[in-house]
Amino acid sequence: MWRTFAYFISLLVFLTCSQIQVQAQDTIPIPLKINIGLEVSGPVTYYTNKNILNAEGYISVDLNEKRSVIFDAGYLNYKYSQYNYSYLNKGSFIRIGMDFNLLKPDKSQGRYWAGIGLSYGISLFNSEVPVFAKLNYWGTTVSSISPKTDWAHFVEVSPGFRAEIFNHLSIGWSASLRMLIHTSTGKDLMPIYFPGFGNGTKRVSAGLNYFIVWNIPYKKIKVILKKEVKEDTEDNGDTNNNGTNNNGTNNTTGTSGNNQQGKVIRQ
């Protein structure tokens, strides 16, 4: 469990700190934004099913054109009942993590985001089983489990997509895959459903979120576009002295802006 947690943190640190050295020529202005998102599927679900109220929102701050830190918080009020038991869970959660935009700056233009989010979440909730019944050879035993406050923590991977459809307003979705690290409930009374995670009876849970996001630009940066340049020929010797390679194609550096597709230049 702790090994998984340590691995996840290491991955976050690595992805945050890693830098690719490029030789820059052209730049593109990208607005960095503070994004305030509201999850909309929760209220819609509540409109059709009054037993699940999930309210969730986030604030993220762009650190650069690729990365943004995200703080996510939410509230859940969950009621479930079937023929042999009923279950209540009420509580809140927070998630802290980082979003990585996999689109190149000239594609994203500060308006589109297609990438992956990694986050760590902690949930505090109060759960109760008002009644459950068990039928066996000796008859039916009816019992209950008293309200109890517990916590759980988990990690989440969430690929998704967002697009700015109006000025300062984006919509998007993300698929979430969450892995439970630990819950204080103990293994006998795992939470059936808990805030920020979902189905707690399984180690892994999945879900989909839909967001409306208000984007507030706070800074504009100039992002260096990486040039598309063929591999340096002196290292592998597949170019002759007049600047053509073995295939006879031109190998000049400083290609036009149409070919700026993020190839890393080797010096």
Partner 1 sequence: MRKHISESHLIIVPVIMLLLISCTPGSCFEETESYVKASFYDNVSKTLHAPDSLTLYGLNNDSMIYNKTTSVQPALIPLNSSTESCTFVININGASDTVEFQYNSFPHLISKECGYTFYHHLDTVLFKNHAIKGIYISNKTITNLNVENIRIFY
Nearest one of 56, 76, 169 to 119, comparing CA atoms: 56
Which residue of 36, 173, 179, 265 would you call a contact of partner 1, by CB under 8 A? 173
Only one residue has tokens 């009020």, namely 77
Nearer of residues 27 and 143 to partner 1, judged by Cβ: 143
CB of 239 to partner 1, least distance (A): 32
Interaction between residue 201 and partner 1 (CB under 8 A): yes
Nearer of residues 6 and 189 to partner 1, judged by Cβ: 189
Contact window for partner 1 (CB under 8 A) among 53-61, 80-88, 89-97, 147-155: 80-88
Nearer of residues 80 and 218 to partner 1, judged by Cβ: 80
Interaction between residue 161 and partner 1 (CB under 8 A): yes
Nearer of residues 78 and 120 to partner 1, judged by Cβ: 78
Which residue of 75, 100, 151, 210 would you call a contact of partner 1, by CB under 8 A? 210
* Residues 153, 64, 171: CA angle, nearest 5 degrees: 70
Contact window for partner 1 (CB under 8 A) among 50-58, 60-68, 108-116, 243-251: 108-116
Which residue of 75, 100, 132, 151 would you call a contact of partner 1, by CB under 8 A? 132
Which residue of 189, 204, 216, 264 would you call a contact of partner 1, by CB under 8 A? 189
Distance of alpha carbon 110 from alpha carbon 30, whole angstroms = 5
Nearer of residues 9 and 189 to partner 1, judged by Cβ: 189
Distance of alpha carbon 78 from alpha carbon 90, whole angstroms = 6
Interaction between residue 212 and partner 1 (CB under 8 A): no
Distance of alpha carbon 162 from alpha carbon 119, whole angstroms = 18
Only one residue has tokens 């939410």, namely 74
Residues 64 and 85: beta-carbon distance below 8 Å: no
Interaction between residue 245 and partner 1 (CB under 8 A): no
Q: Which residues of this chain interact with partner 1, rule CB under 8 A?
A: 80, 82, 84-85, 107, 109, 112, 114, 129, 132, 134, 136-139, 141, 143, 145, 161, 163, 165, 171-173, 175, 188-190, 192-193, 199, 201, 206-208, 210
